[in-house]
Amino acid sequence: MLELRNINKRFGPETALESVSMEIGAGEIHGLVGLNGSGKSTLLNILFGSTTIQETGGYDGTYLLDGRVRRFSSPCQAIRCGIGMVHQEFALIPEMTVAENILISREKGYPFIDALFPRQFSLVDRTSSAMAARQTLHRLNLDLDPDQTTGRLSMNVRQFIEIAREISRDDLRLLLLDEPTAILNTADTDQLLTTLRSLADKGIAILFVSHRLQEILQLCDRLTVLREGRVVSCCAARDSSIDTVTRLMVRESVVKVSRTQRHTDSPPILSVRDFRVRMAGEELHGLDLDVHRNEILGIISLSGHGKLAFGAGVIGQVPFCGRLRLAGEDCSSSPCAAMIRKGLFFLSEERSQLGLLLQHTIMDNIVFAALHHNKRFHHPHWPHWLQVPDQKAIRRHAEHCIAEYDIRCTGPLQSVGNLSGGNQQKVRIAHALTLSPQLLIVNEPTRGIDIAAKERILNLFLDVNHSEGTTIVIASSELDELKRICDRIAVLYRGRLHAILDPAADDLLFTQAISGEPVLQ
C-alpha cells in the first residue's frame, strides 16, 4: 500500500535520510526503530506532509501510496488521502473538550441543517458528537466524560484521546504512531497494542515508532531499523531478538548502568506529612514520605496514582495541603522561587512546555536558573545589583556542559527547540545541575529517549549523587531503571504511600505492590 523508494532528505549540509526505501502492506503493522537523531521523525514528517519538510527544501525520491506518486505539501493533503498520525507531543487542543478534540474537522451536525447550509456553516450537534466520541473511547476501553476539558486530564489519558482522534476516522488507511506508548504503563500499553492489532485486522496499515523494542517485537509483523539516516535492516519481527536489533541500532555497545544499593540512616532532607496535591489526573491524598539526605529514591505507581504530583507539589507548581519540611525547616507555603533558592529543583515530565525556553540557545537554557536564583555568572566588573551576565563565563560553562553531558549539537548557540528529545533532556539536567541543588526531583527522566541516551542520563544521576552528594528523587514508570539506580523505591497507590521496597526485591512483589495488593516487608 505504501512504498518509499530512495528517499533522500538534507537539512542544509546535514544528511537526515539517505536512500531510504520501505514498503508497508494493508493490514500490516510495521515497526520503525532507531536511536534519537537516526531520522525516524524526519521520515514520519515526510510521510505526513509536514510543512517543515517543504520549508527546508523538500526531499528526493518517490513516495507511492496505493501505486500513485504523492508529494504532500501540507498535512491537510495527507489527511485527505487517509493518513493519520499520533504525535508524540500531542496535537490536542487543551482548551477544547474531549469530544471536540476527537472529532475535530469531522464534527457531527444536524442532518436538517446540514442539508440547508454549506457544511462549514452548519451547527455542530453536541449530543451526537459526544456520543460518537464516547463510542470511540469505548473501543479503547476508556470510560470518560467527553464534555470535559482536555487540558485538565493526565498525560496518559491525553495519549488515548490523541489515538482516539485518529481511529475514529472512517477513511483511515495508514496510521503513523510516534512513540505512542512512551508515557503509558504496562496495562495501558497492552490495551493499546490490542486495539492496534484489531485495527490492522481491518486492513489499516500501521507504522509504529517506539523505543521499546519489546513491544515492537511483540506487536509488529516486520520492522525496519534506521541508523544515521540509513536503513540497516528490514526483517520479520519474529526472526529478530532484542539483542540483534539493539546491535543494529547502535554501533558501539551500550553498557547498562547499575550500582549496589546502600542503606542510609542520614536524617531526612525532605519530609512530607499528610501531603495532598490536587493535580488533575494525578492526585495525592495524604502522602507521608521521608527523603533521606544523599540517597536516590525512586517513586513508582500506575499512572493516575500520584507519582507525578509529588515533585509538582513540593516545588509549588501545583498548590498542596499538608506539612512539608525541607532540611528541618517548615516550608509549607513557599513559592517556587524560594524553594529553588533553598536548594530544591524539579524537572517536570512536560519537557518542552515547562522545562525549556525553546526559542533560546542551549547556553541560555543551561544557566537560566543559576543566573536568576543563585546569582552566579554575574559580570565581575559591574556592581552585582545590576545583574549584568558574564557572557564569557556562561559560554565556558555551556561548552563544559556540552562536553561533559555529551549534548549532540552544533554549539552552545544552537536553539534548544532544534535538538532531539534526548538532547533536550540532557540540557535540562545540565540546567538543574548548574544550580548544584541539594535535592533534585525528576519526573520521567527517560521518557521517549533512546537506549544510549537513557543510560547516559542515568549515569549522570549516579555521578552527581556520588560526587556532590545530591539527593535525587526519580518518579518514573520504568521499574527496570529505578531498580538499577535507586537506594529505595516508594510505591504509591491511590495517592498514598503503599510500600517502600528494596530495589533488589522480586519483580512480582513490585507488580503486586503497584497494583495495590498488600505487601509484607
Applying CB under 8 A, which residues contact other proteins? 48, 51, 74-76, 79-80, 85, 87, 91-96, 100, 104-105, 107, 109, 117, 119-124, 165, 353, 358-359
Q: Distance of CA 165 to CAs 169, 252, 295, 396, Å?
A: 7, 39, 43, 47
* Closest distance to other proteins from the beta carbon of 359 (Å): 6
* Gap between the Cα atoms of 34 and 516, Å rounded: 36
Q: Are 20 and 230 in contact (CB under 8 A)?
A: yes
Residues in the chain: 521
Angular region, 452: left φ>0, alpha ψ -120 to 50, beta rest:
alpha
Q: Burial letters for 312-345: b for 16+ Cβ neighbours within 10 Å, e otherwise?
A: bbbbbbbebebebbbbeeebeebeeeebbebbbb
Q: How far is the CB of 107 from other proteins (least distance, A)?
A: 5
Minimal distance, residue 263 CB to other proteins, in Å: 41
CA–CA distance, 394 with 430 (Å, rounded to integer): 13
What is the CA angle 89-93-94, rounded to 5? Answer: 90
Residue among 79 and 457 whose Cβ is closer to other proteins = 79
**Which residue's CB is nearer to other proteins, number 96 or number 388?**
96
Strand partners, 120: none
Dist CA 92 CA 164 (whole Å): 11
Tell me if 362 sits within 8 A of 429, measured CB to CB. no
The torsion region of residue 325 among left (phi > 0), alpha (psi -120 to 50) and beta comes to beta
Min CB(119)–other proteins separation in Å: 7
In this complex, which beta carbon is closest to other proteins, that of residue 50 or of residue 476? 50
Closest CB to other proteins among residues 6, 353: 353
Least gap, CB of 417 to other proteins (angstroms) = 8
Residue 172 or 433 with smaller CB distance to other proteins: 172
> What is the distance between the alpha carbons of residues 159 and 303, in angstroms, rounded to a whole number?
12
Handedness of CA 97, 99, 104, 107 (dihedral sign): negative
Distance CA 238, CA 178 (A): 22
Min. distance of Cβ 113 from other proteins in angstroms?
Answer: 9
* Beta carbon nearer to other proteins, 84 or 422: 84
We find the least distance from the C-beta atom of residue 411 to other proteins, in angstroms, to be 20
The distance of closest approach from Cβ of residue 278 to other proteins in the complex, given in angstroms and rounded to an integer, is: 17
In angstroms, give the least distance from the CB of 317 to other proteins. 11
Nearer to other proteins, 236 or 413 (CB): 413
- CB-based contact 178:85 (threshold 8 Å): yes
Q: Which is nearer to other proteins, 122 or 332 (CB)?
A: 122
| In the complex, minimum distance from the CB of residue 338 to other proteins, in angstroms, rounded to a whole number | 18
Cβ nearer to other proteins, comparing 212 with 428? 428
Rounded least distance, CB 478 to other proteins, Å: 28
Question: From the CB of 100, what's the least distance to other proteins, in Å?
Answer: 6
Strand order from edge to edge, sheet including 471-475: 344-347, 439-443, 471-475, 296-300, 488-493, 496-501
499 vs 55: CA distance, rounded Å: 53
Q: 93 near 42, Cβ under 8 Å?
A: no
Concatenated DSSP letters of 451-497:
HHHHHHHHHHHHHHHHHH--EEEEE-S-HHHHHHH-SEEEEEETTEE
**Neighbour-count burial for 33-54, b at 16+ CB within 10 Å, e otherwise:** bbbbbbbbbbbbbbbbbbeebe
Give the residue with the Cβ less far from other proteins, 123 or 234: 123
Nearer to other proteins, 80 or 256 (CB): 80
Smaller CB distance to other proteins: residue 297 or 340? Answer: 340
